[in-house]
Structure 1
Amino acid sequence: MISEQFQKFMATLGIDLNSTLEAAGVHKIVWQEQLELSDSDYWRLMSELDNELSDEMMINFGDITCMQTFMPSFFAALSAQTGLQAVKRLATYKSLVGPVRLVVTTDQERIDVRVEGDNLGIELPRFTVMTEQLLLISLLRVGTGLPIKPVLIGSKYHYGSQLSNVIGSRPQEMNSNSIQFSMTDLKQPFVSANNTMWAFLQPELDRQKLLIQQDKSLLATVQALLLKKVPSGDFSINDVADTLNLSKRTLQRQLSAVGTTFNEEVQAARKVLVMPLIKDRTLSLIEISYLLGYADPESFSRAFKKWFDQSPLAYRKQMIMA
């Protein structure tokens, strides 16, 4: 979800969100008060921001004093009593911001936070990793009023001098991503602690989180049905709606409410199904296209190239050579 306020914030940074969405292949109307994005659209937007933004602009996105106005979950974290409580609170409500998770592990000396996508197979863009790590640093510094630095920070991406200067410690290169803080720093009291504000925010945050869980349950059900129905050929919206005991219009409305469409979900199911089929050398590309419900091989080839930036024939040749 992209609020109208957040759209204005992006404009102050010189970002033409309409052009960015178009470049990302996300065709939405930006003047809406709240712009609902499907998970796939969200990641396309993050990847495009990764291409467009300088490190200096990323630092603005990683400043919690800028972001708390648009993200109630950040404001709730700043209302915590300590850094440890703030990080755990932010992780609890991270799904309200987008399909991102903060995986938090602790021991007696340190806390470790890893950024993941809701879909574990997704490769996080540099923009996502950098801004999430910067937000955690900013959260602790603003909350405590102290110049807290991570005891370890790293990812597979290059940080550059500007980001390293803000972080205050030397980033490491690693296959995954990680940011760690000492438990001593995490137990420092927050000068921004506000129990009254937290009591006000928590019921609404819990309500929104429940709605997201319900939305994801609907999408998971639709995807499970499509994974079964696409190979059989009976996967029209009427077929799926009948199975769910819904009218076609109700299913369309419920999918629209969570920022997706039936056609987008069909494409997502096809993308999941295509890999085991393309690896089966006994199947021709024509057979695969029909198994996935395409009217002709050309339509399948166009879709495959959109998903994987190469034709199915080129992918097969590459697979054979490997």
Structure 2
Amino acid sequence: MTAPLLASHILAMLFLTPRLLRGSSWTRRAPRLGIGVWTAACLSTLAAVCLAGALLIVPLLTVGHAIISLVLVCDISLHHVSRTTASLAMDVTGAGVIAVIAARILYATTTVALPQRRLRRRHADAVRVLGHRHPTRGDILVLEHPVPAVYCLPTHHRLIVVTEGALALLDPPLLDAVIAHEHAHLRGHHYLITTVTAVLARAFPRLPLFTVANDEVRRLAEMAADDSAARRCTPHTVARALLDLVAGQVPAPVLGMAGVGTAERVRRLLAPSRPISPAARYLAAASATALLVMPIAVPTVPALVDDAAHCPPAVTAGATPRPTH
């Protein structure tokens, strides 16, 4: 039952989930929840594939007991695996699956995440040398550049960069909206989430789940930051600031307000949809949690049942064991 369950889960995540989530309006109405569900789907699929590879090498209960070994202790030797030609072939296949996944993620990390991190650090170093603190707002650095642009740099000091062109273009309410948007990116750690989805999209470029998730998470991250700024200012103010900055260019590895889905975001701000109901929020959060728990529960639940059936109950300290006749 485990193999069909895992296979169904993996196929549904890879090919069905992108169709269902991409066309759902609720993710635009609750972008933070949408980010959570997309991220959970990606991580759940990756964990399920790794679990499937592990189960080709070791039995299901062995994997489960490895997970719960720090909680439950049972001195029974539960498994004896004979090494046959078929079992050795399964071992090689399982190890190959895990090795391929690890190699692809390592490749994507070295070609996406690490170069982006280096670029952000170099850009931050240059900005600190060339820029200057705003006279009345100490949380932003000003660059002498005519092109209007505002973006955040998630380095150690968490910089928000504003060009002279943006200061000349934006009046104080619009500037406040833009800065609130960038602070929302930094507080929400959106750069980490978008880096994870970008790495998975590079590692597995032919799988719809990861490629679609990369685009959707970036779009939803901008919408979530828009919502945060709109709560501090007004949706109309955020929309005006977004339109004013749409012509600005920002460096590739950073998050800027006018970076993704500008037209859709402006329409969303000017004609907001009704928020999703609390019940729908709880359902989405529960779904994300279930996706994350499922690959762990598949081997752990049978192992817990097996422990309950085979391990003797613990004797309470100080109690006298009942004699048997």
TM-score bracket for the superposition, by shorter chain length? under 0.3
Which has the larger strand fraction?
A: 1
- Taking structure 1 as the reference length, the TM-score comes to 0.26
Query: Which structure is larger by alpha-carbon Rg, 1 or 2?
Result: 2
Question: TM-score, structure 2 length as denominator?
Answer: 0.26
